[in-house]
Structures are given as structure tokens and as C-alpha cells.
Amino acid sequence: MKWIKTMAFLLPFLVIASITNAQQIKDGETVNVDGIAVTYSVVNKEKLTIKDQNFDRYKVLASVKNNTGKSFNLRLSSSLDLTGISNSKIIELDCVNATGARLTSKKVQVSMKSHLINVTYPTKDKDGKATTAVLPVTAGYYFDQGQVIENDAIFIVPAGETPQVTVRSLLK
């Protein structure tokens, strides 16, 4: 019981701490997040009706530029190193008033570029003759100084509202 009371007391502080890491961003605005320039813009807007309710559908584009003065590199230790995928995330934009209807997004994440290498391996063709094949393999992820990476998403919000978007860094 004491543990539940302690958690109930600390929960609001944890929520406030996570919110304070996020910054508000508006359409067409560029925000500096730990040396990374984040630009959010609305590409397209449509009106639609879902189950007799009106909504606005926004296609948005998130663009990040590395202005930190350094490059970020993440090497994978093995082909089964799945932590690299989550560690390659740079920025997250969260649409607070998005409904998520029709399998649309509530968030959009921008990740580092994949570093692909081609691996040549021996195999056999359909006639049983020995041959070689090439397989692209992800060796890691990178985000170089001055590089720009973009990602898009679709947000559905209640009619008459514009997306309320916050941005936060995911770099560790």
C-alpha cells in the first residue's frame, strides 16, 4: 500500500519531466533540438467524414538537419542486434490531438540512414550449378554533419483544428 501511494505521488512528476523535454513546433517553423534543426511542415490538407464525424486529414513532413558539428555513427555488433534499430532514432514529433483513426499516425520518428554493405556468398542456381549471389546487409546507421533526413506521416485531427505538434530528441 505504501508503494502504491509513493508511485501515485511520483507519477505526476514523471509526466511533467517527460513533457518538459518536448518543445512545441508549428507548421513551417524550424526548432533547434540539441543542435539538430527540426522543421515541420504541412504538405496537404483534406476534409473527411468517418462514421458521421468530420475530421481534417493532414499529410506532414518532418525534416532534420545535423548542425551539431559532429557525426553520429552506430555500428551493429551482429546481424541480430535489434537494439540498433531503436537506437538509430533521432527525433520524434508527437501530434497531441491526432486521433489515430484509419490506421494513421499519432507520432512520426526520423531515423539515421542505414549503412548497407553488399555480401557475396556462394549458392546454386535452379539447375544446380554453383554460382554467387549478392545480399545487402545493414552494418550500422549514420547521421553526418550537415546531412538532412526527412520522414512523412498522416495525422487525422478533429475538424477545424490544426495539428498540435511537439518535438523531442531521441539521441542518447
Residue 12 lies in a domain: no
Q: Kindly report the backbone phi and psi dihedral angles of residue 84, in degrees, each rounded to the nearest multiple of 5, phi listed first.
A: -65, -35
Residue 79 lies in a domain: yes
Residue 18 lies in a domain: no
**pLDDT score, position 78:** 72
CA–CA gap between residue 85 and residue 114 (Å, rounded):
9
Residue 45 lies in a domain: yes
* Amino acid found at 57: R
Tell which residue, 27, 51, 54, 48, has the closest CA to residue 39.
27
What Rg value do the Cα atoms of the chain yield, rounded? 21
Per-residue pLDDT tens digits for 31-77 = 999 999 999 999 999 999 988 999 999 999 999 999 999 999 998 88
Per-residue pLDDT tens digits for 72-114 = 999 888 766 677 788 899 999 999 999 988 889 999 999 999 9
Neighbour-count burial for 141-150, b at 16+ CB within 10 Å, e otherwise: bbbeeeeebe
pTM, entire model = 0.78
Over residues 1-28, mean pLDDT: 61
The total number of structural domains in the chain stands at 1
Residue 4 lies in a domain: no
Residue 113 lies in a domain: yes
Residue 15 lies in a domain: no
Residue 14 lies in a domain: no
- Which residues constitute the domain of residue 82? 24-169
